[in-house]
Amino acid sequence: MDYLAVGKVLKPQGIKGELKVEILTSFPERFFELERVFTELSGLEELEISEVRLQQNFVYLKIKGIESIEDAGPLRGKLLKIPASWRKKLPRGEYYIYELIGLSVFSTSGEYLGKLTEVLSLPGNDVYMVEKEEQEIPVPALKKVVKKVDISGRRMEVELLPGLREAGKNAD
């Protein structure tokens, strides 16, 4: 079974073993719906959630059986995961980052530009980093640039704006 990370334990919070968790999902409210999460300790282990609270950009979780700072210590730095089958369905034309990573990217004229290796979330829009050999091309995630995304075919088609290819030549 495939799992998706929805949070990363930063540290125990308080003396009763509550966990301060960095949110790694676009749907922070999903923590209120979850009854359990999974993490790697001595293998994949299930953690039963008893309390949830959101504060600023963090979620605080109380896990059944974790009653002290000492109990919570081994979870520091661990990813909290859910089965991929629990993921939220996105609107048409939106994709999870893990679905995009590794796509083969082609120009609208059919030229192979490289593999999508990273998604940068910037204030204006996301940028897809496409890498081929030693060259990286930053591709803005805009409808006028990204013409087609075929997740099942592992392919993306883009119309490069003038100057993008040159902007990526200094990928050193």
pLDDT in tens, 40-65: 988 899 999 999 999 988 999 999 99
Which CATH fold would you assign to the domain 97-167? SH3 type barrels. (2.30.30)
Strand 155-158, strand 58-63: pairing: unpaired
CATH class of 3-86: mainly beta
Distance of alpha carbon 91 from alpha carbon 89, whole angstroms: 7
Query: Tens digit of pLDDT for each residue in 90-104?
Result: 888 888 888 999 999
Share of the chain above pLDDT 90, in %: 72
Which sequence spans correspond to the domains of the chain? 3-86, 97-167
